[in-house]
Amino acid sequence: MSRSRERGGPRDLLGQLAAARDSDGSALTEREIRDEVSTFLVAGHQTTAMALAWSLALLSAYPQARQRLEEEVHAVLGDGPADPGKLPWTTAVISEATHLYPPAWTLERTAVADDEVRGTPVCGSPSPGLQAARMPVANAPHCCRCSRAW
């Protein structure tokens, strides 16, 4: 990691993490960098692959949307790097695909203090094993495709 910090500029994931700064300006610790890389290697690739797969599947079902995406990408990118701010249609396509088919089946959070959510008390967790889970896939696809609601 020290070599990555010395190279000068972030050229890869490790370099990006070594150059990253917290809001207070401090660098990530080696343990934080290790944890980020581990997360990327173990979990990050699957969710990205799922988001990409569903985006491509939906685009294949809607040729006009695919054409619009291809035109935007060719007009904006050329041979340069991607800037999501300049790709609103591409961003919308990926957002909609991940809304309809969430790549993460559950989202877990640990309450660090007592709270209340919609009238339901949530106890702060004295032990790290107690978590609250939300399953976006249980709600989003049915809700978004309900002809009575939309």
Does residue 19 contact residue 10 with C-beta atoms inside 8 Å?
A: yes
Give residue limits of the domains in the chain. Answer: 2-104
Average pLDDT for residues 84-89, to the nearest whole number? 90
Q: Are 64 and 89 in contact (CB under 8 A)?
A: no
Gap between the Cα atoms of 124 and 131, Å rounded: 9
**pLDDT, tens only, 5-53:** 455 555 678 888 888 888 898 999 999 999 888 887 777 778 888 889 9
Cβ neighbours of residue 27 under 8 Å, at least 6 residues apart? 5, 18, 20, 21
Say whether pTM exceeds 0.75: no
